[in-house]
Amino acid sequence: MRRVVMCAALLIVVAGFAWADVKESDTVDYMVMTEADSTPGNLDGSNTFDRRWDVTYDGTCAAASLDSSQNGTSYQVFGIWSPTNEALEAEVVLGSLADSVLFLYCDPFDPMSPEVNLAAWDDDDGAGFGSAFTPADGYMIDANTPYQLVVTGWGPANLGDFTLTLGGDAVFGQPATPTPTGPQPVPTTSRTGMIILVAALALVAFALLRSRSA
């Protein structure tokens, strides 16, 4: 009986790992039609991490996710932002890269802790085995806030070039620091500065008095 229980437990564990690697049916071939910004990318194996999977989007930067069995997967990070609150639209257009996965992270992304700051993911909603975030997904990003898009392969063997395209108002880079508007605080002199100023004035006054009395 004990042997049967152990065998059943082993089968459950093996099945769990196998399930983690099974791709879902690819029923969507979304393409960004109105491009806001795009940039080339390449997964060459120089940067790797243990990617996540099965991310449950909840509108926060702490989405629940699972550790995939695809350890040592190549990745590339792209900073993005938008001047407006919007549902993120992004697509991985495959080149020599045959199969991609796309992640949305709140800033910053840490490859040593890929479960931290994770917001959303997609496997195959782009054309073919490409990945895409569609407006219908409702993955919201806040205005003037930095985010990270992380493009990976499905597994360590998936390497090659691609193009990452943004729709809506999102662009690559970091939001600019806003220029201050309205009344600005009047500069004040520190206590040390005041002491130095008073001492300097006293020296000038003393020098003037001596020059007059000479």
- What is the tens place of the pLDDT at every residue in 6-65? 444 444 333 444 345 567 777 788 999 999 999 999 999 999 999 999 999 999 999 999
Q: What is the 3-state secondary structure (H, E, C) of the chain?
A: CHHHHHHHHHHHHHHHHHHHHCCCCCCCCECCCCCCEEEEEEECCCCEECCEEEEECCCCCCCEEEECCCCCEEEEEEEEECCCCEECCEEEEECCCCCEEEEEEECCCCCCCCCCCEEEEECCCECCCCCEECHHHCCEECCCCCEEEEEEECCCCCCEEEEEEECCCCEECCCCCCCCCCCCCCCCCCHHHHHHHHHHHHHHHHHHHHHHHC
Q: What integer pLDDT is reported at residue 194 of this predicted model?
A: 57
Is residue 179 pLDDT above 90, yes or no?
no
- Say yes or no to pLDDT of 182 above 70: no
Span 30-172: which CATH code?
Answer: 2.60.120.380
Residue 98 has pLDDT above 90, yes or no: yes
Average pLDDT, the chain: 84
